[in-house]
């Protein structure tokens, strides 16, 4: 009996020591991971590009979608400081009005307006565009910036579109088409599309399953796909607008601590990223720099059809978004999904 007890005690001691050792190893791994994330974040912030242009935007009208928070808000603040008439196109009117008031106080520019826009709703997009066309005589910059992270579960909008693709891509695709006539009339003008280097995680794009009607939905995949479509749509539109005076460019703002992570229910973009975002990300003001660069700089008026990062043309864009044939096919598929009418085809 005592031998059995002794053996059990010995096994317990050995097991305890193994668990203790494993716990220390796990602790070291976690600490090393956090150290790596913190160092990477520091270097990421240090490498952020800065707008060097001092160009005035007086007399110009700029629309920024998703400007009630994050990099859209900070881009609006910078451009308002340059004297532009800035329209915050946002879903949450109260929140947007508070931001507009804050921007007015910090810049002294009273021409900061709020208009309701939910890019996940094609009806909202058409209503917004109709209001802009009725009220605004010119449009110099259209910054398509609103976005969400992928949701944990597949969610369909009132139009039958997957929510992430509708918000990040289809709504912006439709809006650009609807306002294209005003942009041409106001040329030289610019379209700035906020994408993400997350597109590099997408290896294939199934044009027959853009809204996951055939399955294969994943929150992170939906986000990466929407960002790839942002770039492909911008590339094809830039090609079609050659010679019109309207330039189109996409951009990656870098890894930025914004609401897109805290509001997402998907694991990769929501729960997991919430832990690492504060340690590894850039500030919202840093993330807004490339939007502002493309909206105001002299270079932003001369280059079209490119992907920018850190206020310069990026050399890191994946091959999938450089496929001109795929860009054309994404455009054609998007026309079908948003049910683009003949009178809305202004390219």
Q: What residues act catalytically?
A: 223
- For the chain, how far is it from start to end, CA to CA, in angstroms? 90
What is d(CA 178, CA 126) in angstroms, rounded to the nearest whole number? 8
Encoding tokens for residue 126?
A: 């058409």
What is d(CA 226, CA 324) in angstroms, rounded to the nearest whole number? 17
Is residue 309 a contact partner of residue 200, using CB atoms and an 8 Å limit? no
| Burial class (CB within 10 angstroms; exposed 0-12, middle 13-18, buried 19+) of 84 | buried
DSSP states of 123-183: HHHHHHHHHHHHH-S--SEEEE----PPPSS--B-TTS-BHHHIIIIIHHHHHHHHTHHHH
Nearest residue to 212 via CA among 70, 337, 79, 31: 337
Is residue 165 a contact partner of residue 226, using CB atoms and an 8 Å limit? yes
| DSSP-based three-state secondary structure for 73 | helix
Encoding tokens for residue 100?
A: 């507009």
CA–CA distances in Å: residue 24 to residues 11, 16, 18, 35:
20, 12, 10, 16
Within the chain, what is the greatest distance between any pair of CA atoms?
A: 96
């Amino acid at each position: 009996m005592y031998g059995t007890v002794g053996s059990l005690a010995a096994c317990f001691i050995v097991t305890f020591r193994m668990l203790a050792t494993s716990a220390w190893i796990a602790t070291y791994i976690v600490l090393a991971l956090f150290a790596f994330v913190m160092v990477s974040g520091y270097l990421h912030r240090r490498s952020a590009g800065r707008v060097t242009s001092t160009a005035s935007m007086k007399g110009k009208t700029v629309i920024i979608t998703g400007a009630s928070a994050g990099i859209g808000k900070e881009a609006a603040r910078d451009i308002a400081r340059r004297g532009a008439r800035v329209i915050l196109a946002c879903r949450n009117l109260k929140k947007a009005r508070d931001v507009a008031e804050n921007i007015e106080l910090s810049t002294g520019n009273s021409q900061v307006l709020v208009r309701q826009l939910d890019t996940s709703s094609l009806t909202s997009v058409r209503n917004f565009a109709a209001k802009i066309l009725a009220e605004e005589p010119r449009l110099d910059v259209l910054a398509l910036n609103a976005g969400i992270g992928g949701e944990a579960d597949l969610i369909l909008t009132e139009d039958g579109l997957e929510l992430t693709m509708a918000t990040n891509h289809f709504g912006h695709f439709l809006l650009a088409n609807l306002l294209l006539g005003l942009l041409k009339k106001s040329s030289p003008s610019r379209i700035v599309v906020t994408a993400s280097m997350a597109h590099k995680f997408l290896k294939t794009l199934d044009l027959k399953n853009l809204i996951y009607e055939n399955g294969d939905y994943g929150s992170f995949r939906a986000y990466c796909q929407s960002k790839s479509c942002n770039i492909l749509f911008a590339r094809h539109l830039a090609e079609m607008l050659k010679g019109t005076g309207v330039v189109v460019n996409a951009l990656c703002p870098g890894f930025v601590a914004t609401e897109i992570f805290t509001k997402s229910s998907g694991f990769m973009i929501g729960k997991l990223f919430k832990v690492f975002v504060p340690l590894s990300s850039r500030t919202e003001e840093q993330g807004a720099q490339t939007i502002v660069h493309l909206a105001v700089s002299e270079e932003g008026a001369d280059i079209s059809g490119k992907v920018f990062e850190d206020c310069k043309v990026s050399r890191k864009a994946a091959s999938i978004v450089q496929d001109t044939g795929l860009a054309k096919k994404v455009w054609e598929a998007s026309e079908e999904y948003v049910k683009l009418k003949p009178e809305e085809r202004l390219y």
